[in-house]
Structure 1
Amino acid sequence: MSEVQRKWEGNALNCICSVYVPVKNPLKSAEWWQRNFGLEYAVPFNPAEAQVILKLSGGQWLHLVETEGEIDNQFPNKVGYPMFRFTFEVREIEHLYDHLKSNEVRVDDLADRDSCGINFVFYDLDGNKFDVNEVVHIHRTPEAVEKVKAHLFQHA
């Protein structure tokens, strides 16, 4: 049996390597992502491609693609809640949350989702909606989890 004829076994998908985000101005958007998240260019900017490609810390690429017309990366779930397309995994969510708030980035309320971790939603310059998550109980001691929750939810 040739390599091409070999039957797929198990899960053939390994990870998501690239995410494409519609934006009005790729360079302005890239500066925003750099300022708020520390992302760096994955490849040099090529104006002919009308996109900026930034690299996440895990190696995945975030493509900021110039788009004309209305931008809407959301969709309603069954009960009508406008969903985001994906969730970023982070560490030290409390520092990121504080950083984004101090930079006047639009963020929604924090949510403690128990075993799923702590989440919040943020929006980029073009109104694209993104979710952020840290499963704190996996990455931290119980004492550290309580300290993070006290910091994040002290005003709730």
Structure 2
Amino acid sequence: MKRKLAMALSLIALPALADTPDDILDLLGARAAGAETQMQARGYAEAGSGNIWWNEKTGICVKVQVSQGRYKAIDMLPDRDCGRKAAEQSDAAAPRSPSQAAMDACMNGADDYQEVADGSSIVKHARRSGENWILTMDTSGRTSHCTVTQAGDVIGME
């Protein structure tokens, strides 16, 4: 019975983790005051009202939900919610989606980064960052972020 209950509870918790950036995933459940300090230490800055935060380095916008003084959920938002104009909107000549070469390079890079079998990673989200792309990768439930050129040159993996 305990095992079934634990499995059921773990399934309930999964949606809250689905869109939480990996670099702040550990803040879920943390006391809000301490978590806010950690958000700032990790490069996030408040981007207006409503507990919305922007990380200039990674280009990630999130909304934090607080309940009973603790971080209950952290969800990724579109750049515009942080007052940023998405790169694809500001540059009409820029491609609207990453090339197959860019996606393949990040899928292979995420497999290596997470130390899993080739073909385990998928692209969950893509957004422009200047001339490059930041792809959010899902590797068996683990998230990583791949910065890549349109030509498929991986610049960084976190």
TM-score (norm 1): 0.30
Higher helix share: 2
Higher relative contact order (CA 8 A, sep 6+): 1
Larger-Rg structure? 1
